[in-house]
């Protein structure tokens, strides 16, 4: 039994030998680095994604705009935005892909994550990362070379303050001997997905994360990666990946590579995602940034034609799949 079997967000997204689909904010296509982020439109689409039975909605953590790096994601602070999304949805899982643990104090992250998990009704799935934008580290006075150790420290601190009352903690960033952190997650923990390698070994990720979040790669490479990672744990831990798509009107349009994904019709897309499922992928987060069609049309087509093959885990689907 997975310890997050009764966590609403985790159980909506993940089950062994099952694959579900999510969407990245912003729910729009756009040129350049900065999206429009019309809040009314975004929430309307978020609600529609939930109605269509997408499993999750994901936000990114991009602390600073680097014009040479590119995309700033949904632009707003992830915790503020997640609170807003939680208030406008009811069942869909809410994910981060990913919170930069090296640039945020671990107690702040622990409190924000526990707060969102409570407010949303236990829907938070917490993707975490070390960060990879070089301009951000000096801006926050953080040594880029220390990011691997800072990542380990943060995850350890977060687990401890979630799971214990009045814990005593002494780390490079935390000197805690009095007081406690509230609220506590109902399960005394929150599902944490490690992103990429985060300067860690595959064995460490398998043993310390509740799942792994990776990037689009050649399917054979992904299959070997998943097999190797799962060899280090005897329990089911989900594997997730992102995928950029430009969904074409022709349902049989053969895939043409774009950045981290494909220009593709829905039928080859279904085939490709089925293949990902067969090699052990459990969740695919779709990014619509490079699309050419109205995003409303694309979300509807995905919901009506693709999602029935990869439904969110709810009710009888969860029990019988």
The DSSP secondary structure of 169-190, one letter per residue, reads EESSS-EESS---SSPPTTSS-
CA 201, 16, 219, 260 torsion-angle sign? negative
Average pLDDT score over residue span 121-127: 98
Distance (Å, whole) CA 318 – CA 312: 8
For the cut 70, the answer to whether the pLDDT of residue 320 exceeds it is no
In eight-state DSSP terms, residue 303 is: I
Distance (Å, whole) CA 214 – CA 235: 19
Instruction: Check if the beta carbon of residue 116 is closer than 8 Å to that of residue 124.
Output: yes
**Nearest one of 198, 211, 223, 236 to 95, comparing CA atoms:** 211
For the cut 90, the answer to whether the pLDDT of residue 55 exceeds it is yes
For the cut 50, the answer to whether the pLDDT of residue 316 exceeds it is no
Q: What is the mean pLDDT of the chain?
A: 96
Distance (Å, whole) CA 205 – CA 197: 8
At residue 69, the pLDDT reads: 85
Distance (Å, whole) CA 292 – CA 23: 17
Distance (Å, whole) CA 44 – CA 39: 8
Q: Which residues fall within 8 angstroms of residue 64, CB to CB, at 6 or more apart?
A: 133, 135, 136, 139
For the cut 90, the answer to whether the pLDDT of residue 303 exceeds it is yes
Distance (Å, whole) CA 268 – CA 113: 37
Share of the chain above pLDDT 90, in %: 94
pLDDT band at residue 90 using 50, 70 and 90 as cut-offs = very high
Average pLDDT score over residue span 254-275: 98
Cα 9 to chain centroid distance, Å, stands at 11
Phi, psi of 291 (to 5 degrees): -70, 155
Helix ranges (DSSP H) in 61-177: 78-88, 106-120, 136-139, 147-163
For the cut 80, the answer to whether the pLDDT of residue 135 exceeds it is yes
Distance (Å, whole) CA 73 – CA 299: 18
**Nearest one of 246, 269, 275, 270 to 259, comparing CA atoms:** 246
Share of the chain above pLDDT 70, in %: 98
For the cut 80, the answer to whether the pLDDT of residue 104 exceeds it is yes
Distance (Å, whole) CA 47 – CA 85: 9
At residue 1, the pLDDT reads: 62
Distance (Å, whole) CA 195 – CA 209: 10
Instruction: Please write down the HEC assignment for all residues of 193-243.
Output: EEECCCCCCHHHHHHHCCEEEECCCCHHHHHHHHHHHHCCCCCCCCEEEEE
For the cut 70, the answer to whether the pLDDT of residue 147 exceeds it is yes
Secondary structure class of 26 (helix, strand, coil):
coil
Instruction: Check if the beta carbon of residue 243 is closer than 8 Å to that of residue 24.
Output: no
pLDDT band at residue 262 using 50, 70 and 90 as cut-offs = very high
């Amino acid at each position: 039994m997975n310890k997050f079997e009764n966590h609403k967000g985790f159980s909506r997204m993940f089950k062994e030998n099952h694959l579900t689909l999510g969407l990245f904010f912003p729910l729009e296509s756009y040129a350049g680095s900065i999206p429009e982020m019309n809040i009314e439109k975004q929430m309307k689409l978020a609600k529609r994604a939930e109605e269509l039975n997408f499993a999750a909605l994901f936000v990114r953590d991009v602390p600073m705009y680097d014009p040479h790096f590119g995309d700033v994601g949904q632009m707003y602070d992830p915790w503020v935005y997640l609170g807003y999304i939680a208030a406008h949805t009811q069942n869909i899982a809410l994910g981060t892909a990913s919170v930069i643990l090296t640039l945020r104090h671990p107690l702040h992250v622990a409190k924000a994550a526990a707060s969102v998990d409570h407010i949303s009704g236990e829907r938070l799935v917490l993707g975490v990362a070390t960060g990879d934008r070089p301009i951000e580290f000096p801006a926050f006075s953080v040594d880029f070379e220390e990011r691997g150790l800072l990542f380990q420290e943060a995850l350890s601190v977060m687990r401890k303050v979630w799971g214990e009352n009045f814990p005593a903690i002494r780390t490079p960033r935390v000197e805690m001997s009095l007081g406690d952190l509230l609220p506590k997650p109902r399960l005394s923990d929150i599902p944490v997905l490690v992103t990429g390698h985060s300067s860690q070994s595959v064995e460490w990720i398998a043993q310390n994360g509740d799942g792994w979040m990776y990037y689009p790669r050649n399917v054979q490479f992904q299959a070997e990666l998943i097999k190797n990672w799962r060899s280090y744990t005897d329990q089911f831990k989900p594997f997730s990946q992102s995928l950029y798509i430009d969904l074409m009107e022709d349902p049989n349009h053969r895939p043409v590579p774009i950045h981290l994904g494909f220009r593709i019709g829905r039928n080859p897309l279904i085939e490709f995602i089925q293949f990902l499922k067969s090699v052990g992928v459990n969740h695919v987060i779709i990014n619509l940034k490079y699309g050419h069609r109205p995003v409303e049309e694309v979300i509807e087509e995905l919901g009506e034609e693709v999602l029935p093959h990869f439904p969110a885990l709810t009710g009888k689907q969860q029990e019988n799949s």
